Structures are given as C-alpha cells and as structure tokens.
Structure 1
Amino acid sequence: KQNQDSFLLSPFLGGDLGVSLFGIFDGHGRQGHLVSSFAKKVLPSIVGSKEEDGGNSGQGIPQLLSETCSELQRLLLEQTDFDVMASGSTAVIALIVDDLLFVANVGDSRAILAHARERLAIVAMSTDQTPGVKEEKERIESHGGVVYRDEDAYTGEQGPFRVWRRDLAGPGLAMSRSIGDAIAHDVGVTALPTVKQYELKDSDRFLLLATDGVWDMLENSEVVDIAARASEDGRGDPLSAAAQVCETAKKAWEFKETRMDDISCLLVFL
C-alpha cells in the first residue's frame, strides 16, 4: 500500500540561523497521503508568516504554533481539491528558536529528546492524544461524540478506543486530535495542539520524531538506545541512526503482526 507518512526538514527557516522547523505527519483514510503531504508543503510558509507578524518571542511561540495548526486545518478545508471529510493526518512539529525548543502535537505521532548526564535520559516532548484519555474523551462526548472500543467476536480481544458519531455511522477515528477529518471534528476531534517548551542545554544529544509505526512496536527507551548506539551517542550520522530505528520497528512488525503500519523517523542532533 502507499506510504501515507510525510516529514519536514527546514533548518534555518527563512534563512534565519537561529530558527529551525521539523515535522512528522502520519496520514490516514483514503486521501491521508495528500493531507500529510499538504501539511509538509505549507507549514514552513505559515510559520514564517506568523513569525514576521511578531510571534517569534519565547512567550508568543506556543500561540504561534496553535494558530499554525488552526490555519492548516482551515486551508485543508477551503483550498484543497481532495476529500478531507474522512481523511486526515497527525502532526508533531518541532520549532527551535535559539536555545528554546517547542513541540506542538496533534494526534498520536510522538517526539522525545535524549540528553546525557551520568547516563542517557529521556524527556517526553509530546503525549499521545487518543480517545481513551479522560480529558479527550470528555471533550468528544461534550460535542455529541461517542467513544468506545470494538471486541473481536472470536478472540475477545479489544481494539483501540475510537471516535464515533452518535449513530455509530463513522468515523471510527483512533485519535482524538487530527488535521483534516472534518466529520470527526463535528463531534469533538480538534486540530488544536498541545505545546511543550524546553530550554536546550549542552548535555542534550538529539531530538527524535516518529510516527506510530515506530511507537506501536518500540518503547521510548528502546528507540533512544537504538539511535544512540547507531549515532555514537548523538554525535555521528543521524541518517543511519534514524534508518536503524525504522528497520528495528519493521522487523518487530514482521515478527508480531500480519500487517505493517507506515514507519517514519526523523532524528535531529542538538
């Protein structure tokens, strides 16, 4: 099947040596690849224009990133010629301004940071936004949506929590925030991101963004260990280290499942 993931690398955004923009997008639905590709293409210009409007101070950046995701949602609905009623994408966006890192997250892709003190440690820069999370479930239900999980009639195994309309005719979305997915947005799903801020230090080694094709198979600590070994603790080759993370996740899918999710990983040395 077609890989619906996209990624964004914009170091020195707009020629500014102090500003860099990175992103991972995991499309879903029939047109999900178009949604993730659209996000990749337009985000640098949206962020750049909002910076020019005065949003590049530390205090203003969380609001800038929230407005960026809202603008992205608006453009998808108003200026694209493909159907986004039941297609969408996650978005985890990292913006570095001088020594400050901001991560905006929409959905269940994920960002983590690795830093070294006595040993390599992990800072979670995003939290997965799924319908089973209490605050997410409450918001969806307050907008008339329903959250429940299917049970396999033969094995009794339960699937993930999903978002449905009250008539259960759709959309069955397994995340509580996304870009696109107009039907799901009618019942409480939102493109509004959560934003985390972090002050970068000399001990920080790398930032890693990946789609759930990685996180469904590997724990945060496993991913950091693989990336650290492959990149000589965040000092060697980021491309080969990211590839090693993806390859390890791929082998885990082949061993555990009969299908394989799309797998993408982006590694930024700090």
Structure 2
Amino acid sequence: MQCPFSDNPGFSRLSSHVAERRGERADMQDAHVIIEDFSSFVSHLHSSVGRISYYAVFDGHAGDRASKFAAENVHKKIASGFPKGELNRVEADMKKCLVDAYKKSDEEFLKLATQNKPVWKDGTTAISVLVINNTLYIANLGDSKAILCRYNPDSQKHTALPLSKCHNPTDYEERMRIQKAGGNVREGRVMGVLEVSRSIGDGPYKKLGISAIPDVKRCQLTDEDRYIVIACDGLWKSFSNDEAIKEINCIIEAKESQVESESSVWDAASNHLASEAVRKLSADNVTVLIIKIS
C-alpha cells in the first residue's frame, strides 16, 4: 500500500508490504494493522499535522482473541485520545496518548475475558508505529520489535537501528517488578510459563507483575532512512537485526536489477524474509511488515 501523502514534498514517501506465515503452529495467532491515512480517524487535527499513518503487529499467545482485539481497538483508542492543538502540543502529549491507548485496550480486553466462561486466558505482544509528519512514535509491549534501516554515507553501509525495547522476564527491572508483585521467573518465563513480561491480556498473570504499560520511543526520519521492519518474535528468533537488514537488501538489489515494479520488489522482500524465518526452523507464527521510505 502507498501512503496518500506521498505527493507532499515535505514528507517522506511511505509504502507498506506485509507477509504472514503460520509456521509450525496449528493456527495463526498474529494480527497486523496498516492505516496509511490515519487522519480520517481523528476529527480535530490542526493544520500543522499534515500526515498521520499507523502500522502495528500483534503476536497472540494462548489463542488469537487478544491479538484480534488489539488490532481492532488500539488505534481507535489512539484516535480518541489524540492530542489537540498545534504540532508542538501533539508532540508533547503523544507519549501519554499511546500509553493510555494501550492501558485502556488491556483493561477492556480483560473485562471482556472475565465475562466469558471459561475465562479467556489469551494475551498478545504489541508494537505500533505512528508516523506524524516525518516523526515516528513507537510503542511496544513484549518481544515483537521494530528496526530502522539507515544508510551511512561515510561508511557506505546500512545500519539497523533498534526502535523498540524487548520486555523479557529475565531483564533485571522486569524481574524485580514481577517478584515484587508476588510472581517469579523460572527458566526465563513468568511462573515458568509466560515468555514475556508485558502484554495486553494474560489475565491470570496481571496480578503477578505483567504490565500493559508500553515503552514509547520517538525517532525523526532523515534523508538516509531506507525502510522500517516491524515483526513478531517469530522473525527475530531466526534473524538478528543486522541479518534481517542484510537479507532484505540482498533481495532488493537482486529484484531491482531484474527491472521489476517497485511494489513487487518490496513484496518479494517481505515474503522472502517470512519464508526464510520458517525455513530456519522458527516454529512460531511469523509476520513481517516492511515500510519503505523514499
């Protein structure tokens, strides 16, 4: 998909390309969202906010209900709480907006989960990238990740810049929070079961320190930025950040030399990366979302 703001000379041109693989799982528990024109969800935008786009990947576990719920609702919470006023006001309040959207989505899903018998135990990691003009706002829970490929003209090399921080129970701060709440970490998992320390859902573990408060990062796009990769841990179990960038660049170079259309080149890259993750014996679901930046 191509962002409708691509003709504005002040904005980087964006186009998104996604691939999904079930892997060795019995079903697909991932979900993703692409909203190129997010401004249609916000009724009170100031004229200084010229472009908003939204991209997200949700990696469900213990079922697909939490990931589907998050895919349907997180962006709505962002839209309803979107800061009013000029761009500087939006920038100042954006972190709070994203944190509130994740927390409210978690609260609503947990309420829904307890209304069902048996109670739903589903949970999901979450990572979303909101592009406002030429600034990225990245919010995440769990071990899904986003990286940015940036070209260094001095070294003439591409670098993978992390845009998110993984939340693993073995990390000191995460483990301390879990232990303070009465939980424990065994074999790298909360209570020996849950592999992440922050998520939407996971009702049985919320009282044991599992948090729905995301980390929020901000990144300004530059003329040297090439693309963003957003993916669940099914990809990152098979590829390091640098390996993913190298693999994508190899496919892009090979396909471009064959004079293929731009869209097919990047579709091929996302599909290749997802397939390679499965081929490398990633037993998990795999979702790869690449946002090309021009």
Residues 76-124 of structure 1 deviation map (CA, whole Å, 9 limit, x = unaligned): 0224665665310000111110111011110011110001122111110
Residue aligning to 1:162: 189
Greater relative contact order structure (CA < 8 Å, 6+ sep) = 2
Q: Is the 8 A contact 1:4 1:28 kept in 2?
A: yes
Whole-angstrom CA distance in 2 between matches of 1:64 and 1:100: 15
Determine what percentage of the aligned residue pairs are the same residue: 27
Cα distance in 2 for residues equivalent to 1:73 and 1:92 = 14
Match of residue 46 from structure 1 = 77
| 2:120 pairs with 1:99 | no
Change (3 A) 1:200 1:140: same
**1:167 paired residue number:** none
Aligned length: 246
Which residue in the other structure is 1:128 paired with? 166
* Distance in structure 1 (CA, Å) of the matches to 2:182 and 2:125: 22
The CA RMSD over aligned residues, in Å, is 2.2
Distance 1:188 1:234 in 2: 47
For structure 2, the residue ranges without an aligned partner over 5 or more in a row are 1-25, 41-48, 257-261
- Offset at 1:53? 5.0
TM-superposed CA distance for 1:69, in Å, is 0.4
Normalised TM-score (structure 1): 0.85
**2:226: which partner in 1?**
205
Q: Matched residues in 2 for 1:147 and 1:68: separation?
A: 28
- What is the alpha-carbon distance in structure 1 between the residues aligned to residue 64 and residue 92 of structure 2? 33
Query: What residue in structure 2 maps to residue 63 of structure 1?
Result: 96
Structure 1 residue runs of 5 or longer lacking an equivalent are 150-160, 165-170, 255-259
Relative to structure 1, the CA distance from residue 233 to residue 41 in structure 2 (aligned partners, 3 Å threshold; closer, same or farther) is farther
- Aligned partner of 1:73 in structure 2 is 106
1:200 deviates by: 0.6
Q: Identify the residue that residue 239 of structure 1 maps to in structure 2.
A: 267
Kindly provide the CA deviation profile for residues 29-51 of structure 1, in whole angstroms up to 9, marking residues without a partner as x.
1xx31111111111222111111
**Cα pair 2:125 2:143 within 8 Å, conserved:** yes
Q: 1:153-232 counterparts in 2 under 5 A?
A: 161-164=188-191, 172-232=193-253
Aligned to 1:155: none
1:204 to 1:8, Cα distance in 2 relative to 1, 3 A: same
